[in-house]
Amino acid sequence: MRQDGEELPWNMASRFPLSVLDLATVAEGSTDAEALRRGVELAQHVESLGYQRFWTAEHHSMPTIASSAPDLLALQVANATSTIRVGSGGVMLPNHSPLVVAERFAFLEAFHPGRVDLGIGRAPGTDPKTAAAVRRHTGHGVEDFTEQLAELEGYLDGGLPEGHAFAGVCAVPTNPTRPPVWLLGSSGYSAALAARLGRPFAFAYHFAPDNAAAALRHYRESFRPSPELARPHAILTVGVITADTAAEAERLARPMGLSAARLRAGRPTRLPSPEAVERHEWTLSEEAVAEHFLATYLVGEPDDVASRLRGLVSSLGADEAMITSIIHSPEDQRRSYSLLAKAMS
């Protein structure tokens, strides 16, 4: 509870909400289980700072990322918090039966009504071989996405229309409310679909910045109001690393660049420490990949990053910024979110 004279949480003072996308990053020297627990502790921390949402993303067979089951992680986060919205950013729908996704998020909604978001994507969240292993029983691919989405929403709304192959099948548990469905994307496809269906939209600027302006412009201009959403609402997911000095922020960011280079080379590893990166003998190709990857991130001291973030969100016409900060040390990661919250207020 806020005491007299204490600063208001940033989202009570700034012009747009700030949220978190966490990947349960596994750092060198830690375990997958520790990464998952770290994510829950981070959610508690950012909730205390006034962040609005805490989403986790589905990835498979990646040694750096432990969030293979965002619905289960969201339940743990929701159980450990009280006000922040929790959800997926996202569940990769072609990997699953729409009924199973509907039931799991109805389950979340039953325990935490009004706090759950269901973010849906159509990418596999992994490499082709692992995607084939994940999807071997679903019979679905990205070409079936709109059909799967309609089926999912039918279950969430209480049932599928007469004549549908699964009419009469219902998602259990049933609830008086249902989680809002967000469409996620890094290109124009999901933006156009979200606009046509009247759904909220989240764009992955942190790895596809070149597509952001066109996708968000199309979403706003083509949006059709729906019973779920009267006007367009867009989240921009942005990579941010901040510290007390610009030099320290750059030092904290370099491990992410090396990790991206190793992933690109087919040699994924756990996130190295800044000290290990300082000892590393970089190749020219590693330097090039790291530089390209980190160019999409806002890295620096807090006031500079906050100013750049405001400008980015304003120029692209987003309604929220969702921050992802991949940092080796839990303490440095929490401080990065704290410094950003203070600078934004």
Q: Tens digits of per-residue pLDDT, 95-148?
A: 999 999 999 999 999 999 999 999 999 877 677 787 788 776 655 555 689 999
pLDDT of residue 139: 56
pLDDT of residue 142: 56
pLDDT of residue 8: 37
pLDDT of residue 127: 75
pLDDT of residue 334: 98
Q: What are the Cα distances from residue 188, in Å, to 17, 21, 183, 213? A: 24, 21, 12, 10
**At 117, which helix (H) or strand (E)?**
strand 116-121
pLDDT of residue 99: 96
Q: What are the Cα distances from residue 118, in Å, to 38, 188, 236? A: 22, 20, 16
Residues 6+ apart with CB under 8 A from 321: 16, 17, 18, 19, 235, 236, 237, 238, 309, 312, 313
pLDDT of residue 10: 39
Domain at 10-245+299-344: CATH code: 3.20.20.30
Residue 117's φ and ψ, nearest 5 degrees, are -115, 135
290-295 contact pairs (CB < 8 A, 24+) = 290/254, 290/257, 290/258, 290/260, 290/261, 291/257, 293/256, 293/257, 293/260, 293/261, 294/253, 294/254, 294/256, 294/257
Residue 22 · residue 67 · CB < 8 Å: yes
- What is the rounded CA–CA span in Å between residue 48 and residue 286? 38
Residue 310's φ and ψ, nearest 5 degrees, are -60, -45
Residue 64 · residue 327 · CB < 8 Å: no
For residue 321, give the amino acid letter: A
Point out the residues of the chain with pLDDT beneath 50.
1-14
H helices present in 7-51, as ranges:
32-49
Q: How many other C-beta atoms lie within 10 A of the C-beta of residue 146?
A: 12
pLDDT of residue 130: 76
Q: Tens digits of per-residue pLDDT, 82-99?
A: 999 999 999 999 999 999
**Structure-block tokens of residue 126:** 């992994």
- What is the rounded CA–CA span in Å between residue 226 and residue 212? 23
Domain ranges of the chain: 10-245+299-344
Q: pTM of the predicted model, to two decimals?
A: 0.92
Tokens 């004279």: give the residue: 5
Write out the DSSP string of 39-107: HHHHHHHHHHHT--EEEE----S-TTB--S-HHHHHHHHHHH-SSSEEEEEEEEGGGS-HHHHHHHHHH
